[in-house]
């Protein structure tokens, strides 16, 4: 039984370091962690989620304030009051709003990085740099046609004249070694 009281149903050994590095190369794997000790995955997840919720609440507060200022600015522009001053302010506020949203998302992802360093990705928000996103339609490969392969393997037109012609039969090749004077053969 674990010290947290969750019992053995949530207590696991973290994945091996080699597994995380091989399967999730974009994810930082914690090399210092003792992966031979059982950990409560539920406690790790709850702690990470609480931290992410705190960061999200701070970000949402800032975003709500910016959205309020944007709507007030739009109302003032519609009414015609102080139009010259506010024309330049609205795009700046919109940029600040986009930056605040992006900053909040990045901070939430940073909260989850310590969890992913132990358990690997899969829980929490979707990572930006995941190799495959979506279903099967995103992972289908395009195979070039025979004609495309032929075109790709040929030399470009401008290099065809410059390409040296190599002998076809290796038995007809002449030795490139220099012969000593008076040597036959």
**Sign of the four-CA dihedral 12, 17, 19, 21:** positive
DSSP for residue 122:
S
| Distant-in-sequence, close-in-space partners of 66: CB < 8 Å, separation ≥ 6 | 93, 96, 97, 100
Residues in the chain, total: 185
Show pLDDT as tens, one digit a residue, over the chain (185 residues). 356 776 777 787 888 888 888 888 777 787 887 888 888 888 888 898 999 999 999 999 999 999 999 898 888 888 877 677 777 788 888 999 999 999 999 999 888 888 888 887 777 677 655 434 444 444 555 666 777 666 666 655 555 555 555 556 555 455 555 555 555 55
Task: Specify the pTM.
Answer: 0.58
- CA-nearest of 19, 2, 45, 30 to 118 is 30
pLDDT of residue 21: 81
- Residue 48: count other Cβ atoms within 10 Å of its Cβ: 20
pLDDT of residue 62: 92
Kindly compute the dihedral angle of the four CA atoms of residues 150, 155, 157, 163, in this order, to the nearest 10 degrees: -150
The angle formed by the CA atoms of residues 38, 11 and 53, to the nearest 5 degrees, is 110
- Exposed/middle/buried for residue 120 (C-beta within 10 Å: 0-12, 13-18, 19+): middle
Count the alpha carbons within 13 Å of 174 in the hemisphere toward its beta carbon: 4
| Distant-in-sequence, close-in-space partners of 62: CB < 8 Å, separation ≥ 6 | 100, 104
Count the alpha carbons within 13 Å of 32 in the hemisphere toward its beta carbon: 1
């Amino acid at each position: 039984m674990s010290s947290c009281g969750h019992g053995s149903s949530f207590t696991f050994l973290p994945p091996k370091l080699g597994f995380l590095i091989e399967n999730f190369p974009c994810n930082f794997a914690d090399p210092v962690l003792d992966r031979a000790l059982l950990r409560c995955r539920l406690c790790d997840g709850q702690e990470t989620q609480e931290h992410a919720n705190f960061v999200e609440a701070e970000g949402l507060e800032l975003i709500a304030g910016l959205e309020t200022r944007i709507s007030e600015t739009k109302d003032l522009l519609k009414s015609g009051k102080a139009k010259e001053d506010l024309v330049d302010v609205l795009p700046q506020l919109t940029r600040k709003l986009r930056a605040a949203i992006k900053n909040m998302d990045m901070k939430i992802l940073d909260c989850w990085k310590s969890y992913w360093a132990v358990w690997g990705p899969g829980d929490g928000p979707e990572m930006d740099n995941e190799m495959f996103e979506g279903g099967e339609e995103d992972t289908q490969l395009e195979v070039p046609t025979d004609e495309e392969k032929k075109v790709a393997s040929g030399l470009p037109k401008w290099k065809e004249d410059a390409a040296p012609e190599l002998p076809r039969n290796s038995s007809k090749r002449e030795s490139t070694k220099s012969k000593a004077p008076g040597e036959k053969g």
